[in-house]
A and B are shown apart, each in its own frame.
Chain A
Amino acid sequence: MPEDPVKMSELSPEDRERLTLTGLEVEMKNREGSFFQVDQEIRQWTSLNERIEILPIHEALRKYEWLSGYSWNLVKKDKDQYTKYVADQPEPRGFVIIARRGSKTIYPLQACLFLARSPVQHVHNIIIAEEGAELHIISGCASASYTKTGSHIGVSEFYVGRGARITSTMIHNWGEEISVFPRSAARVEEDGVFISNYVCMQPVRKVQMAPFVDLAGRNAIARFSSIVVCTQGSYMDLGSVARLAAEGSGAELVTRAITTGGTIISRGMIEGAARHTKGHIECRGLILRDGVIHAIPEIKGDVVDTELSHEAAVGKIARDEIEYLMSRGLDEDVATATIIRGFLDVRIAGLPDALQAQIDAAIDSAEKSGF
């Protein structure tokens, strides 16, 4: 077994490639900051933007007393066995990012969480965008090529201040016997925007998550997009929950799911708890080989003047679409791949080009391997 890497640049070419597929730039090109954790060891952290701080969580909690008020505030310690496990760790690991008032990032900060030898990797992250700040984060989570089994438990708490914006893009590249349990929650203040994207195109044993967003301020917006391909032997229970708690707030939950033999449970829940709110859930699934896609959209309105809707469709690629493209000269395999590529091509409003390019690259890679 190779030595564990100290820096991202010391990774083996194979593992560098695995990380690249999660959107990480080992050479830090087009990135404003970076955090690198292998198992429970934090190996690297740096920010190129003086108004945005990135720190290991144990150092950040020592440095800023006030931060304890943000820790285990949105995600409760006793939420489930996984949060309890992370909360019980005597030495917390993970990162804290603080984007100061009015700060902007052009390029994203990247966080790399790499599972090498530990049976379990646990992280606790706190991300704060103060008033008017704009912060883009890409989290690449992967296991080493030589790591066959293990679990990753990640707790993330996002605070989107007044008029602030956070985009969080998480791309997974685990192994066939690795289980993953992200536990995330966000609170968005007045005129704030929270955009969360999840992409998983590679095999994994199990992923189970249901990030929650509390739209606490007037006109706060949240958008969740999940783009997943579920291979045989994989089980993905994915959902997102939005509470429209303030007037004028809105949420959109979009899922594009493909199964090539695995099981996908696609949940979505929006609660309209304030006036003049809007929410929409859209789940579209393609069954390419026998597998399961179970869409469970839920909407709940508590007041007058909340508009909530959902649409879900699960099926196969329509024959007339394939033949239409064949009539333009594409053979059946190319026509099918072109339609699947289009199906997964969700344009996410407000996402920086660099992050959209990473999502596109993850889909391209899956396309090359024939989904």
Chain B
Amino acid sequence: MLEIEDLHVKIGDREVLHDINLTIREGETHVLMGPNGSGKTTLLRAIMGFSGLDVTKGTIRFKGKDITNLPIHERAKMGIGMLFQRPPTISGLKLGKLLAVTSGDRTAMVSEYARFLHMDAFMDRAINLGFSGGEIKRSEVLQLMVQQPDFVMLDEPESGVDLENITLIGNAIARLLEKDVHIVNRKKSGLVITHTGYILDYLDADFGHVMCDGAFRCHGNPREILKVIKTSGYKECLACQKIQ
């Protein structure tokens, strides 16, 4: 599904991602962990193709095609979707209007998804204007459900969300990633940034990666990695030589 090879990314004059190699196959969910400022969000933004960062070396391939230089919307159309940790507020643009534009032939599903995420009362509200933390994340997940991407990137889906909303959002993301489908038949893939690991209660992630200072420092079982981080912090990861 996604193959990143020897990726180097600069913001301004500073290289912020170094030598990133990552392969995510169809049906797999990967978890990305790391301290604040380590480059996790930058990696997601580089995969999505956002401006403000330069890929100076390496390639990003999606479904076998080199997308390193494709514009954002073409990547989205190919099947990449992203849940933003802090999406912008677009005053005036109603959530319902945006979903009407993005839903294509899935218009009929919009209200069902909105009800599922308790967002039916928000369709006439400007995107993210005055939304609480949980409402922002529910709006993000709703937009992704309507978009139905094959590869979903989730930037801290549980941050700023209360326990009740985590259950709702976790179940919705599980649906988005086809966790209800047998692993053999599962087509959707994901890359999830998490600090707390709460979201893993709903996702059954397959692989974990730790990023420090813009480079991968560890790959392995996501729950094992999380356990180490919770007990010893990221210094253990920095000292770890287990990287493959």
Q: Which residues of A pack against B, CB within 8 Å? A: 256, 318-321, 323-332, 334-335, 338-339, 341-346
Contacts and interface: CB of A to CB of B under 8 A. Distances in A.
A342 B101 contact: no
Given A327-B81, A329-B76, A320 B88 contact: yes
A345 B95 CA distance: 13
A335 B126 CA distance: 15
13 contacts: A319-B51, A323-B51, A323-B72, A325-B90, A327-B72, A327-B76, A328-B143, A328-B147, A339-B90, A342-B90, A342-B93, A343-B91, A345-B92
B71 A327 contact: no
Given A319-B51, A324-B84, 14 more contacts: A256-B92, A323-B51, A325-B98, A326-B76, A328-B76, A328-B98, A329-B73, A329-B76, A330-B102, A334-B101, A335-B73, A338-B93, A341-B97, A342-B91
Nearest to B82: A327
B48 interface: yes
Contacts of A319: 51
Interface residues of B, number: 25
Contacts of B81: 327-328
A323 to B, nearest CB: 6
Contacts of A341: 92-93, 97
- Candidate in A326, A331, A334 with the most chain B CB atoms within 10 angstroms: A326
Contacts of B72: 323, 326-327
B92 A330 contact: no
Given A342-B92, A342-B94, A344-B92, A326 B71 contact: yes
Interface of B: 48, 50-51, 71-73, 76-77, 81-82, 84, 87-88, 90-94, 97-98, 101-102, 126, 143, 147
A341 B126 CA distance: 12
Contacts of A321: 88, 90
6 A-B pairs with least C-beta separation: A342-B93, A342-B92, A326-B72, A329-B76, A326-B73, A328-B102
Nearest to A328: B102
A341 B102 CA distance: 15
Given A319-B51, A323-B50, A330 B88 contact: no
Contacts of A323: 50-51, 72
A132 to B, nearest CB: 30
A324 B126 CA distance: 14
Contacts of B48: 327
A329 B87 CA distance: 16
B87 A324 contact: yes
Contacts of B50: 323, 327
B97 A342 contact: yes
Contacts of A327: 48, 50, 72-73, 76, 81-82
A143 to B, nearest CB: 30
Contacts of A332: 71, 73
Contacts of B76: 326-329
Contacts of B71: 326, 331-332
B92 A324 contact: no
A324 to B, nearest CB: 5
Contact of A339 (B87, B93, B102): B93
A325 B88 CA distance: 10
B67 to A, nearest CB: 13
A341 B91 CA distance: 11
A64 B233 CA distance: 87
Contacts of B126: 342
Given A323-B50, A331-B73, A318 B82 contact: no
A325 B143 CA distance: 10
Contacts of A329: 73, 76-77, 102, 147
